[in-house]
Amino acid sequence: MKRIVVYGLMSLFALSAAGCSGHDALMKELLMNLNVLAEVIEKHESKEKFDAAYERTTTTVEKINKLKLSKEDQEALFKRYEPELKKVAERIQEAQKTRKAEGTDDDLPPVVIENFLKK
């Protein structure tokens, strides 16, 4: 039940973010997807759920790359969201370390935020 409520709220958040400028909305969507990915890792969800969350994150990154922002605009965008990106990166790294230490890694590929953020 909690999961349904959380995903419903995230969907509502994504829809409300659509009113922002395109690149800001996509960055908020990226942050939301990265947080879902971290949650999947933290809760030891199945590989299928991990793959789905990873795919949503990758799709959002592709949307950001399709915006074809200038180098300066892209740097400004990532700079504006840098604190949130660092926070979610640390969360994902900590979740991966914990999962590996507990021996429940399930052959999940390592998630490196920098791979998503092609600057």
Cα–Cα distance between 37 and 1 in angstroms, integer? 19
* pLDDT for the residue 8: 56
Task: Classify the C-alpha dihedral 63-65-66-70 as positive or negative.
Answer: positive
Q: Which residues contact 37 (CB under 8 A, 6 or more apart)?
A: 50, 53, 54, 57, 92, 111
Average pLDDT over residues 74-102: 88
pLDDT in tens, 3-41: 665 555 565 555 554 444 678 888 999 999 999 999 988
Least confident window among 32-36, 41-45, 90-94, 101-105? 101-105
Cα–Cα distance between 12 and 113 in angstroms, integer? 25
Which of 66 and 11 is assigned the larger pLDDT? 66
* pLDDT for the residue 18: 44
Average pLDDT over residues 77-100: 89
